[in-house]
Amino acid sequence: MLMGKVVGTVVSTRKDEHLSGLRFLVVRELDHDMKETGRMVVAADSVGAGVDEVVLYAQGSAARQTYLSHERPVDAIIMAIVDEFEVGGDKLYVKD
């Protein structure tokens, strides 16, 4: 999985019929220092994530292993909201 910060949303009305009901969030990838890497992904959301939250997202076929995304044309899914991110003994992030 990669860690990212939800920064926005994508709205689409004309889309494949398998996608109805899914929310698409804009996620910017974070590195081990919680800095943005410059890469972005648009991910479906299985956990009710909101803008500014730090999340984990899975890519590839893993993205279809939730009830919401099963057999849908989705290659990235937010599957966890991060409470704590600890590296080298330091808590670099603790959710409010």
Nearest distance in Å: CB 60, a second copy = 5
Integer CA distances (angstroms), 23 to 20, 45, 88, in order = 9, 6, 35
Nearest distance in Å: CB 91, a second copy = 9
Q: Of 7 and 96, which CB lies nearer to a second copy in the complex structure?
A: 7
Nearest to residue 76, comparing CAs of 55, 94, 95? 55
Nearest distance in Å: CB 25, a second copy = 10
Residue ranges binding a second copy (CB under 8 A):
1-3, 7-16, 18-19, 24, 26, 28, 31-32, 38, 40-43, 46-48, 56, 58-66, 69, 71-77, 79-88
Q: Which residues contact 79 (CB under 8 A, 6 or more apart)?
A: 1, 46, 47, 56, 57, 58, 66
